[in-house]
Amino acid sequence: MTGMDRPPAYDIHPGNVTDKVIASFTMKTAREKQLLASLVSHLHGFARENRLTHEEWAKAVGFLFRCGEISNEKRDEFMLLSDVLGLSSFVDMTDAPEGATEGSVLGPFYASDSPERPVGADLRPGGEGEPVLVRGRVLDAAGKPISGAMIDMWQTAENGLYATQDEALPDQAFRCKMRCDDAAGFSFVTVMPGPYKVPDDGPVGDLLHAGGRTAWRPAHFHFMILAPGHRALTTEIFFEGDPYLGTDAVFGVRKSLIVAPQEERGQKLVDLTFRLVPAALSDAA
């Protein structure tokens, strides 16, 4: 449909504006058309149901403008907004394939340029801090090792800051990519991450404070697991006894992702297993 073929946009009123907006778009795929039509319908429905005033609309647009204004290569305020509204977790849960490890939020601090490190690497800058051995395997849904798997891990330091936030840390501290060994195993030495507050000095923080919400997240490791022929997994690992497990600001905690660190040969140990499903199976779901 060309611009000349579209229904005229004049003579609009509250009863037909939604349909006219939807009809004004031509999308390349049926899925794109479905998503855009649904988005417009729900946005207009929200305004209609709540009798949104011009002042309230302008305030919301200003809020989104401030989200963009404060975002940069190290801070994604829109991702944070999605997280604190529970949308990120909702999509993680509803799009999760059966048989795989549960997913959790990506978060706003992921950096794709983490260095590749060998199995057994020490991620502590200068080897400082109480060591924690993290080890695990990447398996398929039947429990068999997956050849060629790679992990991408990032975490805060003990002070609750990511390397991208703390100028005292090397930029690539406490994060790495690691190709698993022949048995689909990985291991590295690090420190226990600290709990932290999500950035609350911007518009999303204003929203949390206005709603009486906490900005705190429990301590966690982030993992992204990639393997040929399998659906990628983005998830987090949490720890028993953390006081913020029940009030996570981004709704990322899942019961199956809470672990209890152990002791082995006088060293703290976190033992993990990740399960992936074939890409074709997850796509069919």
Same domain assignment for residues 98 and 43: no
Task: Name the residue range of residue 38's domain.
Answer: 17-52
Q: What angle do CA 179, 273, 186 make, to 5 degrees?
A: 25
Q: Is residue 69 part of a domain?
A: no
Q: Is residue 238 part of a domain?
A: yes
| Per-residue pLDDT at 6 | 59
Same domain assignment for residues 148 and 114: yes
Q: Is residue 160 part of a domain?
A: yes
Q: Is residue 120 part of a domain?
A: yes
| pTM for this model (two decimals) | 0.88
Same domain assignment for residues 46 and 92: no
Q: Is residue 12 part of a domain?
A: no
| Per-residue pLDDT at 150 | 98
| Per-residue pLDDT at 7 | 56
In eight-state DSSP terms, residue 139 is E
CATH of the domain at 212: 2.60.130.10
Instruction: HSE, CB side, 13 Å, CA atoms: give it for residue 59.
Output: 7
Q: What angle do CA 89, 191, 188 make, to 5 degrees?
A: 85
Same domain assignment for residues 115 and 210: yes
| Per-residue pLDDT at 260 | 98
Per the structure, the count of domains in the chain is: 2
| Per-residue pLDDT at 58 | 99
Per-residue pLDDT tens digits of the chain, which is 285 residues long: 555 565 566 788 999 999 999 999 999 999 999 999 999 999 999 999 999 999 999 999 999 999 999 999 888 999 999 999 999 999 999 999 999 999 999 988 898 999 999 999 999 998 888 999 999 999 999 999 999 999 999 999 999 999 988 999 998 899 999 999 999 999 999 999 999 999 999 999 999 999 999 999 999 999 999 999 999 999 999 999 999 999 999 999 999 999 999 999 889 999 999 999 999 754 544
269: enclosing H helix or E strand: strand 267-276
Helix axes 203-210, 77-84, angle to 10 degrees: 20
| Per-residue pLDDT at 73 | 86
Same domain assignment for residues 145 and 26: no
